[in-house]
Structures are given as structure tokens and as C-alpha cells.
A and B are shown apart, each in its own frame.
Chain A
Amino acid sequence: MEALLKVENISKEFGATKALSDVSMTVYPGEVRGLIGENGSGKSTLSNIIAGIHKMSDGKMMFLGAEYRPESVLDSRKKGISLLAQETGTIAGMTVYENMFLGEETAGGKSRFVNARRLKKATKEILAENGLAHIQPEDNVERYSFEDRKMIEVARAVWHDPQILIIDETTTALSHHGRQKIYEIIRQMKKNQKSVIFISHDLDEIMNVCDSVTVLRDGNYIDTLPHDRMNKDTIRSLMIGREFDGRYYRPDWVCTHGEQVVLKAEHIVYRNILKDVSLELHEGEILGIGGLTDSGMHELCKILFGAIRPDKGRVTYMDNTEITSPQTAMKKRIAYIPKDRDTESLFIFADIKDNIVASSYDQIKKQGFIFPKSEHELAEKTAASLQVKMRDVRQYVGELSGGNKQKVAICKWLANESQLFLMDCPTRGIDVGVKANIYLLMQELKKQGKAIIMVSEEMTELIGMSDRILILKDGECSGEFLRQDHPSEQEVIQKML
């Protein structure tokens, strides 16, 4: 069969960092190709090169039988390759329709002037076709949730009707509905003899979605497995270069936690997003919270941290202090890891050190002074504990791979020795090896009597780690599962829909 895309001996250097060396890959029409590898192995770099965001340092690409050298994202889109980026690809401060037609405002029209009315109308149609009728074209994209923004990008990509669609870890950011939508798009593309390059850290998902999978390690091409040779253990050991020892989620199936209630939310009402939600978190407990994105679980997490004031109800710490701001929460050693890491969690243009110590100045200051040496020591120690892949702690966070950014976001709260963790999708974009480490870390924290609330969109993670799972649906608690009852994924999902 004629190849659709041929990537030949591509290398890419970012200054001193070698992100890709001599990688080749061939994608055929109608193929769904998985791309997998540890954090920082070069997956995003490769897809960004194919999509025209980065220029390769060396190598050559062929697309539809001709040499292919995309100048920009717009150029590659025009030629038939669309990318769903790992981080948000919509631009805050612009409206939905402006984002939809970014750089192509005059496309299809006769005049060279932008016709806003026409663009809005077209946007409305595109959104409706993709089941996103609740999004208004003239609204600022910031008004919408992470998932909605992602889905706007999806709609934009599909509308361009690409020959190849690259999906860089988009699915882990989406809830059940969003994922189903993406799988549907993939099926359609396949049916029309078009191709998909699919990146994910979720091996089950890779196994279900892909026809073949290419493994990268440290910027090197390792192997491509056809469907009949794909199995989880093989993929894992190819990824990490040694046998994977298999330990992952909690081995026990009992609810174990202390009696003491450490955090309590009573009758929380917030706009029409949360309608009377109450919960209690005990010491040493891992409380999972699941639901669809619009169930209000992400907002609940912010309210527990004091970052949003609820309209009614209150959040109290065990000594009866009411949590009314992030500062009061932090005084009680509460940590909050937001889902939207680039805009809410990280200082992208600051270095790793500044990011990690951002919440720990009170711990490391001596007579009011903060010395660079203690900053460095703390940052290095914490970064090492999660194996952040970096040059050194002076590197900009913006240069890290997605998963390593997430590790830095977690490090910030490990550094200040928090006692209570509010984690919103904590393992988003993290590879299997490090995921296992984070799960171990959670168990370690639990053992020390620290309490964790984990909001997650991954069923297996919720079931695998939580002592108790609360399900939110349309702003109300629709179900509760205990660990000893060993809930199945199906049961849990049922309560969400």
C-alpha cells in the first residue's frame, strides 16, 4: 500500500537537549497509529514537527508522495494535517469564533475583509454538528471549561477534514462524553481511509483504539508493533527499557482511615453548578470524586481550597477554622493541584526552582530571608523524588514535556510538606512508570495519616486508589461507593450519566 506520511531520520535539538534522534515512521491510509513512550521521550516534539509548530533539525518528511515541509500550523492544516495539541490550543481573550477561524478569517469569503457575522454563523453550525450547541460563538473562550475548550479545538480540527489527525494526549483531559466523541471521530476517519496518530499514556486505550503502535524512548525510535503483537507488557518494557514490575494501584481492598474528620464541606451551593453538596474527609483517607466535567467536581475542588467563594455553605478544617481563601487553606497545610496546569498551576516563564519553591518560602526562610542555596536544595531534592526529566532546576518549565510539567506541579506541594491534598486529575499526562510512583506516593501519604481528595476522570484510577468514591452529577451527589464493595467501572459510570 502507498504510504500516506513518511517520516525519515528526523532529529531535533533544543539547544543542548536532544529531543529526537534519527526517528523514522511510516503511516498508511486508514491506519490509527499509536505513539507511546515515557514523559519526555519526544512524542509531542515529533507531532509538533509533523504539524509545523517546530522545525526539524535534520531529516525529511514525505506526505501524499511529495516532500513535505510545513511552514506553520496553518500551512500544515491547509495541506491536510491537523493537530490536537497536548496543552490548550485555544487562545484566551479571544472569542470562540475567532479561535475557530484563527488565521483563516477570510477563508471561503469573497472579500478580503473579515465578515464577523458570517464567521459566527459558520462557527455556530460547526459547533452544532459536533454536539456543542451550548457554546456561544461570540463568547470569550475563557468562559468555558477546559473540556469545552478542548472540544472547540476538536471541532476545528474535524472541520478542516484532514488527511491525518494527530491527537496528542487529548483524551486524558476529557471526561467520558468527550472521549466517546473522539473515538467516534477516529472511527469515521478510518472508514474514510484517513489516518490518525494517537498519543496516550493509557495502555488500555492504546490497545483499543490503535491498529499499530510506535514506541519511543529518550528520543530514539525503538520499535513499531502491529496489532497482533501489541500487548501491554511488551509495550511497557519497550517503553522503559526493562521489565515492568507490575505494581500499580493499591493492593488491598479495605477502607482504612482514621476517625478524625479533617475537612468538612457543608451544603455547598455555587451558582447553578453545585446544588447542596456536603462531604467529610477523614485523616488517612483517599476520597475519590468522579463525574462528568460539568458535574461541578472541579469547582468543588476549588471551593474546598477557598479559591472560589460558594454562594451558600461553608468549608471547615478540623479545628473549625473556616476556609475562606487559599491563604487560610495553606495555613492549615492544604495543597491544591489544579487540572488546568499551564494557566492555573505553573509559572511557565519561570524556572523549575521558582515553581517548586513557590509555596514553600515560609518553610525555608531564616529570619525572614530566603537564601538561594536553600531554594536550590529544596527544589533539587523534590524534583529528584518525582524524577523530573530536566537539564537542571534552572531550566524553564515551559521547555519541559507535558508529563514533566505535571510532576513539577505536584512537586510544588510536596516541597512545603502539605498535610491535606486536593488533587484535580493529578496523573494527567504522566507515563506509567511515574504514575506508579505517584500512586505509591499517595499510599505513603495515606500511611502518614495525610488525607487526599482526588478528583479524576479515570475510572480505573478512582477505583484503584480510593477508600471511598463520591459521584457528582449535575451538581449533586448521585452515588457513593466504598472500597470493600469493590465497585466495577460499569457501576460507577452508571451513576455519572
Chain B
Amino acid sequence: MEKTKYSFIKKVAPYAGLIALVIIFSLTTDGRFVAARNLTNIIGQSMVTMIAACGCVFVMAHNNLDFSLGGGCALIAALSFRATKAANLPLMLVVCILFGIGCGLITALIHVKGRIPAFMAGMCIMFVGRGVVEGMATNMVMNLPADSSRYANNLFYLIFLIVVFAICVPLFNYTKVGKMQKLIGSNPRAAQLSGVAVGKYKVIAFAISGATLGVASFLTMIRIGSVTKTIGSGLETDVLIALTLGGIPLTGGTGTRIRAAFIGSVTYFVLGNGLTLWGLDANLIYIVKGVVFLATVFATMDRTDQEYVL
């Protein structure tokens, strides 16, 4: 396949997909989709996912999946609530980020030192997180102070998004941390023999993913005003599908672009929102999302390496 043409298609496909969805939903929902309230709602929902996806890109770039996101989000929320009693929100944010990094480090160390696939290590965090939250939420009510609700608005999220964006994008595109992830994803063996400290950079990636997860977890708490049993559930799949829709190569490597986190999250929530407006049954929406996910994977997965086989 000729590179220039192919990579051009790959580059515009996520945008084209988003625009197509927006047009379709605008035309078929009697203006409900383009209503200002609906749009702000979509943006609000997508921003938290975007923040988590932003860090997750580092992990996916070196060809791993982070399955700890949902359970990790719950774990971070519960523990930080416990530790700070939500008395001081800035302090709580810092604690969230620290716990997030902790989660990331645990996943990474199990993966790197224990030589266990990262997604399994992540699942382990997922189960622990769910267990802890279920236990704690049954025993006590974990409400944030009432005045925290005034932060539950898009402007507040946007500030966080901008900060995360301002840190992650240069880190990913213009520093060794990002470059190394992409090399490891391209060919881990060659990366090692080019002097890349493979283990170290994997750990860094998970730590970054953990930090953004901490932020996402904090914002989720603000949004719902408490720590509930179901907090953060499905975040890992939301992020994975969003990134895929944003055009991230599933096996990582030098083709990984961080913009996938932004464009993909919007697309994902536009899709969900539009289908709901169509009046589709919630279960059916899951099925449609599944089909769209598969179709995107099919369209974007690089199978050129199998070309020579037969």
C-alpha cells in the first residue's frame, strides 16, 4: 500500500467519521441533537473520558491495554474520600493523583517484574477497586460537601482538560517519554537493542495513565457528588473504544497520535447520545457500539505484516 495515500486516509477518517455522525444526528433528531443543552451535555461527558484517555495513550503506544481504569477510578475515589473526608477539595485532588500514580505503578510492576500481561495486572486492580467500593459504599454514605456541586460544570472540567492537555501533548510528542513508548510498541526487541530501557518506560507510561486517571476520578466524584457503588464503571471500555474511534493503532507504535484521545472521545459520546435521541433501547446501544468498535478495528488494524505469509 502506498504510504502517503494510506496514511492520509487514516488521518482524516476519524474526523470524517465524527462529522458524518454529527450531520446524521442533526438531520434526524428534529434539532434535539444540536440543542445547546444537549451539546454541552455531550462535551461534559466526553471530557472526563478524554482526560483518562490522554494518559492511556502512553500505555497503548507501547502496545499494552490498561484494564484498570474503571476499577481504578472507583478505588481512587473511595480511598481518597476515606483519606481526606472530602474536607478540602484541592487536597483531595492531590491525593487522587497520588493514588492514581500508585495504581499505575502497581499494575506496571506486576507486569514488568512479574512478567504478567499488563491487561491481567490491570484487571486485578479492577476487581480490587470494585470490591473496596462496594464494601465501603454499603457501610457508609460517601457524599461530597454540598457546595462542591457548584464545580460540577463544563468550565471547571475544561480547565482540568486544558492542564492535562498542556502536559500530555508535549510529553507525548516532543520528549523521550513519548518517543520511547512508540519505539517499544513498534518492536520491543529492537527497542531494547537500541538502548531503550523498556521496563522503565513502561512503568512511566502506567504512572502517567494513573495520574490522569486520578484527575478523571476526582472529576467524576464532583460530577455525581458522591462516591457510589458504580462510580467509574465501564471507563476502561469507554476509553478503549474512544481511542479506537480516534484512530489509534491497536498495537501501538510510531503511528500512535495523542489526538485520538480528543477526537475519539467526542465521537464516542456523540454516537451514544445520538442513538439515545433516536430512542434506541440502552441494550441495543451497547450492541451498536460493539459493532462500530469492531468495524473500526477492522478498518484501522495494520495487517500489512501478514501480507507476506500466504
The answer to whether A72 has its CB under 8 Å from any CB of chain B is yes
Interface presence of A338 (CB below 8 A): yes
Given known contacts A349-B186, A398-B304, A399-B3, is B176 in contact with A361 (CB within 8 Å)?
yes
- In the complex, which range does the number of interface residues on chain A fall in? 35 or more
Interchain Cβ contacts under 8 Å between A and B, 9 examples: A326-B196, A347-B187, A347-B190, A347-B253, A350-B254, A354-B183, A358-B194, A361-B179, A362-B176
Q: Write out the residue numbers on chain A whose beta carbons fall within 8 Å of the beta carbon of B1.
A: 15
A317 to chain B, nearest CB (A): 15
In the complex, whether B298 has a CB less than 8 A from a CB of chain A is no
Residue of B nearest to A394 (CB): B3
CB distance from B208 to the nearest CB of A (A): 15
Mostly, the A contact residues are loop
CA distance A28 to B4 in the complex (A): 41
Cα distance A16–B5 in the bound complex, in angstroms: 11
**A336 is an interface residue with CB less than 8 A from chain B:** yes
A53 within 8 A of B: yes
Kindly list 16 other residue pairs between chains A and B, CB separation below 8 angstroms, not including A354-B182, A358-B191, A368-B176: A15-B2, A15-B4, A53-B308, A91-B309, A102-B309, A327-B195, A346-B190, A347-B186, A348-B186, A349-B186, A349-B253, A349-B305, A351-B254, A358-B194, A369-B175, A394-B3
Known contacts A103-B310, A344-B190; A350 and B175 CB within 8 A of each other: no
Quick one: which of B193, B196, B197 contacts A344, CB cutoff 8 A?
A: B193
A343 vs B308: C-alpha distance when bound (angstroms):
15
Q: Which A residues from 313 to 346 make CB contacts under 8 A with B?
A: 325-327, 329-330, 336, 338, 343-346
Q: Which of A16, A350, A399 has the most CB of B within 10 A?
A: A350
Q: For the complex, is A486 an interface residue (Cβ under 8 Å from B)? A: no
Give the CA-CA distance A338 to B190 in the complex, in Å: 9
A15 adjacent to B176 (CB under 8 Å): no
Q: Tell me if A338 and B310 are in contact (CB < 8 A).
A: no
Binary A-proximity of B164-205 (CB < 8 A = 1, otherwise 0): 000000100011100100110011011111111100000000
- Contact residues in A for B170 (Cβ distance below 8 Å): 369
Question: Contact between B254 and A354 (Cβ–Cβ < 8 Å)?
Answer: yes
B254 touches A347 (CB 8 A): yes
* Complex contact B195–A329 (CB within 8 A): yes
Interface bracket on B: 20 to 34
Known contacts A327-B195, A396-B3, A398-B304: A369-B183 contact under CB 8 Å: no
B193 and A336 contact, CB distance less than 8 A: yes
Interface flag for B255 (CB, 8 Å):
yes
Residues of A within 8 A of B (CB): 14-16, 53, 72-74, 91, 102-103, 305, 307, 325-327, 329-330, 336, 338, 343-351, 354, 358-359, 361-362, 365, 368-371, 394-396, 398-399, 412
Determine if A349 and B304 form an interchain contact, defined as CB atoms under 8 angstroms apart: yes
A345's nearest neighbour on chain B, judged by CB, is B190
Determine how close the nearest CB of chain B comes to the CB of A477; give it in whole angstroms.
25
Chain A nearest Cβ from B248, distance in angstroms: 14
Q: Is the CB–CB distance between B182 and A15 below 8 Å?
A: no
A147 to B302, CA, bound (A): 29
Interface string of B205-237 (1 = CB under 8 A from A): 000000000000000000000000000000000
Given known contacts A347-B183, A349-B254, A399-B3, is B176 in contact with A365 (CB within 8 Å)? yes
Q: Which residue of A lies closest to B200 (CB)?
A: A327
Q: Which of A16, A326, A336, A346 contacts B187 (CB 8 A)?
A: A346
